[in-house]
Amino acid sequence: MKNSPLATPSTVAPPGAPGAQAFWSRSSKDGIGTAYHTGCRLWFTLSQGVISEIYCPTVDTPNTRELHFLVTDGESFCHEEKRDLRHAVEMPERGALLYRQTSSEPGGRYRLIKEVLADPHSAVLLIREEGHNSRPSLSSLLLASERPFVNY
């Protein structure tokens, strides 16, 4: 083994070196979910008012790192759901694998209510979003992380 090429450190940098920086979601979770049927190959986690990870097609394969809303009036502010809003999470139906996340602007101008569940017969995350605001000029935009993890 002493003369093996595997035991000798390489002086040649690997392609793409030094590599991308790893990004990880927070470990504190407000919820974890999947569907009741074995036909569903999707799992998700919730943290800080957002969908923090989506795993598909297996529970150890991260697919999406973060899915959250941006809210703006188009002129004076742009709020990120995770950082700028207050969060609450609940399971509104006993025995159902359904979560309701409510994200509220601290000044009371608006709130976002999301209901999140996995489709029991396919690898689809269903999200129903409802916005309540005191200013009709507000817009929301759903933002998904394009660089989930560096575990390829």
The whole-number pLDDT of residue 33 equals: 93
134's CB contacts (< 8 A; 6+ apart) are: 108, 109, 110
Dihedral of the CA atoms 103, 72, 77, 80 (nearest 10)?
A: 40
The whole-number pLDDT of residue 152 equals: 35
pLDDT per position as a tens digit, 20-69:
666 667 788 999 999 988 888 999 999 999 999 999 888 988 888 888 88
Mean confidence (pLDDT) of the chain: 82
What is the rounded distance in angstroms from the CA atom of residue 52 to the CA atom of residue 33? 11
Residue 82 phi, psi (nearest 5): -70, -40
For range 116-135, the mean pLDDT:
87
Dihedral of the CA atoms 51, 85, 87, 93 (nearest 10)?
A: -70
Tell me the three-class secondary structure of 80-91, residue by residue: EHHHHCEEEEEC
Instruction: Name the one residue in this structure whose structure tokens are 């008012």.
Output: 49
What is the rounded distance in angstroms from the CA atom of residue 22 to the CA atom of residue 13? 19
pLDDT per position as a tens digit, 92-103:
988 888 999 999
pLDDT category, 19, cuts 50, 70, 90?
low
pLDDT of residue 114 exceeding 90, the answer is yes
76's CB contacts (< 8 A; 6+ apart) are: none
The whole-number pLDDT of residue 140 equals: 74
What is the rounded distance in angstroms from the CA atom of residue 59 to the CA atom of residue 42? 7
Domains of the chain: 31-142 (2.70.98.10)
